[in-house]
Chains A and B, each alone.
Chain A
Amino acid sequence: MDFEIPRIPLAEMCDAALDWATEHFSGVTRAISAVIGTGIEATTDFLVDLPPWLVILAFGLLVWRLTTARIALFTMLGFAFLWNLELWRATLQSLVLVLVSTLFALMIGIPIGIAAALSRRFWRVVGPGLDMMQTMPSFVYLIPAIPFFGLGAVSACFATIVFAMPPTIRLTALGIMQTPPELVEAADSFGSSRWQKLFKLQLPLAIPTIMAGINQTIMLALSMVVIAAMIGAGGLGGEVWKAIQRLEAGQGFQAGIAIVVLAVILDRITQHIARRMRTDRGAG
């Protein structure tokens, strides 16, 4: 009765898959990394080189246009506070990373969400995949990112995209699938093609739901960008990381509070836009 059940070599299998992928694709990914990395760096440097008060004012005006004066004022005060804490550069680094990651997450996530809504079979494949992406501890994504994209901002960006994309996919699919059936039937009765139905009815009605997904994606992106400091992404997360290594509780809390402020600003802005879209349409 001495059965030896061999351990399933899961780790080895993952390694083998990763090695294979690295061997075949790392050339491409390194090239992508170089382009995106340069882009992120250039954008950050450009913003850092501008006088902070000008950047704050510009943000304020932009937010005012998109939302309300109150939220714009809050945004400007928040950024001024971060400037005052001498975390200006780190804030901008984090912000650019969040925005770039979110942009990619949306560019990939929304089409996947649409496809998942239109094809039940695809949804059955995507659904568990999303669950896995979200349950996997976020640090794990950092490890394979390095061989593909090298240390730094692009790896952080990659891990962030993987981690932050699921809500966008999920809520895009959900928003489309939740189109009231009687409206779909009406569109059908007028002889709409599948694409006409999608672009004239389902997507416009799903926009408030998709916006809610975007809001979640941005918040997840921010949390991941902080963690990504471990692989050299810098930013506010980098400040926290430094504080941990030097056991400087004060510095750590200061950077932590800065992250909270940035999170609240981003949340208020996207929440407001989502809510306005919902009421504009007079429909849930």
Chain B
Amino acid sequence: MTEKRPRIRVRGLTKIFGDDAGKALPLLQGGLGREAIFKQTGAVVGLHDVSFDIAEGEILVVMGLSGSGKSTCLRCINRLVEPTAGSVLLDDTDLTKLSESELMAVRRTRFGMVFQQFALFPHRTILRNVEYGLEVQGVAPTLRRERAMAALETVGLKGWEAHLPSQLSGGMQQRAGLARALALEPDVLLMDEAFSALDPLIRRDMQQELVALQKRLKKTIVFVSHDLDEAIALGGRIVLMKDGAVVQQGYASDFLANPADDYVRRFVEHIDVLGVVTAGAAMRAPACVVPWHVPAAEALVRLEQSGDPAATVVCQDGLFQGTVDAGVLRGAGATEIRLLASDRDACVSDTATLNDAVSRLAAGRGEIAVIGAGRELRGVISNTDLVAALARRRGEPMH
């Protein structure tokens, strides 16, 4: 991922619920724990010193179990929940310092929000629901109709505009909810467990569509979810929260490779490793790289010396060209191996997940190359390496 300018910077965000929030804040900042503060003041710490950045055009998944403060965190960004301390910077505006009317203006134009239970207005048709934000902005009727229709088309709800929300299935209602947020053409989409209320199959479709939509529209998305698989499917960075604080942030693969603590380790326990770990993370240095022009007999010797299981990688100028195995080399004598090399496809990109590697491995000779963007050789993965990567995930040490 290339470094982009952060669109939103959340710094030291803290939320304390209860009448005695003012009294509880110094206690919290003084290092007192949640439980102790609750016992002493009756105030509940919802968020404690949460900081993260969201880059422009990024999907950031705020993840945690219920009660971890993830929804509160999302609502603090557009101040549906008023933060007790800390700041939220949208570009260079500190949202926590805005007056009521300035905040209203920011909500009208910069944020679009999608809710877990859809929160469509039951007395309005789908079209009028999608128009709502524009109506509040004071956009002229013909223009807002046009933009609402465009948003409905984007989410695939064309033809349903005259229906009432109650006449639509859950998945379609949430499409309408998404269209309502998109119609504003906001910079930032805030999605609160947006797909959690949907059936698993529809949920997966919606996740894929959101990713596709994101590629096209390049919105900045903050997505709250309790579902690790969903976070992985959306493919963005993850901020993992527990008890109102951030436990770890990074990509799912980072959580796997370097869990910050036992909580993270337990959280990622049932993760689909193949879908998260990249080939680049699982590869090792190739033991047998043979240049293009070497005769087969010599290549065979090198292969046998290396102890590599099945295949050898053939290279020219460091670029991957193909593989040959011992069976082909044997008896080929002085033939240059470039004439024998086959399987130019026995490779995966280093950013691809192990899922892709598995299918290539199944089709190949027990070993595939891992290549960079210009087909330069980065490493190899063999069947044994793959099994080892899986075993590592089960908590058994590798060595």
Contacts and interface: CB of A to CB of B under 8 A. Distances in A.
B135 to A, nearest CB: 7
Contact of B123 (A186, A188, A281): A281
A201 B133 contact: no
Interface of A: 180, 182-183, 185-193, 196, 200-201, 204-205, 281-283
Interface in B22-56: none
Contacts of A182: 115, 117, 119
B223 to A, nearest CB: 15
B122 A189 contact: no
B251 interface: no
Contacts, number: 65
B119 A186 contact: yes
Nearest to B177: A186
Contacts of B164: 281-282
A205 B123 contact: yes
Interface of B: 78, 80, 103-109, 111, 113, 115, 117, 119, 121-123, 132-133, 135-137, 164-167, 184, 190
Contacts of A205: 121-123
B119 A185 contact: yes
Given A189-B111, A189-B113, A191-B106, A183 B166 contact: no
Contact of B115 (A185, A196, A204, A281): A185
9 contacts: A187-B132, A190-B113, A190-B132, A191-B108, A191-B133, A204-B123, A205-B123, A282-B122, A282-B167
A104 to B, nearest CB: 28
B321 to A, nearest CB: 55
A189 B123 contact: no
Contacts of A282: 122, 164-167
Nearest to B111: A189
Contact of B121 (A189, A191, A193, A201): A201
Contacts of A180: 119
A187 B190 CA distance: 14
A100 to B, nearest CB: 31
Given A187-B121, A189-B111, 16 more contacts: A182-B119, A185-B80, A185-B115, A186-B119, A187-B132, A188-B80, A191-B105, A196-B136, A200-B121, A200-B135, A201-B121, A205-B121, A205-B122, A281-B164, A282-B122, A282-B166
Nearest to A197: B136
A190 B123 contact: no
Contacts of A185: 80, 115, 119
Nearest to B137: A191
A191 B107 contact: yes
Contacts of A183: 119, 121
A185 B105 CA distance: 16
Contacts of B103: 191
A186 B136 contact: no
B222 to A, nearest CB: 13
Contact of A191 (B104, B165, B167): B104
A186 B113 CA distance: 8
B136 A189 contact: no
B166 A193 contact: no
Nearest to B81: A185
B232 to A, nearest CB: 27
A190 to B, nearest CB: 4
Given A190-B136, A190-B184, A191-B108, A283 B80 contact: no
Contacts of A281: 122-123, 164
Nearest to A203: B123
B189 to A, nearest CB: 11
Closest 6 CB pairs of A and B: A191-B107, A191-B108, A283-B122, A282-B166, A186-B119, A189-B113
Of the candidates A185, A190, A193, the one having the most CB atoms from chain B within 10 angstroms of its own CB is A190
A204 B106 CA distance: 26
A283 B123 contact: yes
Contacts of B108: 190-191
A231 B217 CA distance: 73
A182 B120 CA distance: 9
A188 B132 CA distance: 11
B122 A186 contact: no
A49 B108 CA distance: 58
A201 B132 CA distance: 10
A98 to B, nearest CB: 30
Nearest to A204: B123
Contacts of B80: 185, 188-189
Contacts of A190: 107-108, 113, 132-133, 136, 184
Contacts of A189: 78, 80, 107, 111, 113, 190
B73 to A, nearest CB: 15
Contacts of B78: 189
B373 to A, nearest CB: 40
Nearest to B183: A190
B333 to A, nearest CB: 74
A172 B57 CA distance: 45
Contacts of B136: 190-193, 196, 200
A188 B100 CA distance: 12
A185 B167 CA distance: 22
A193 B165 CA distance: 23
Contacts of B167: 282
A252 to B, nearest CB: 47
Contacts of B106: 191
A193 B103 CA distance: 11
A64 to B, nearest CB: 26
Of the candidates A188, A193, A201, the one having the most CB atoms from chain B within 10 angstroms of its own CB is A188
Contacts of B190: 189
Contacts of A187: 121, 132
A282 B126 CA distance: 13
Contacts of B121: 183, 186-187, 200-201, 205
B132 to A, nearest CB: 6
A201 to B, nearest CB: 6
Nearest to A205: B123
Contacts of B132: 187, 190, 200
Of the candidates B132, B135, B167, the one having the most CB atoms from chain A within 10 angstroms of its own CB is B132
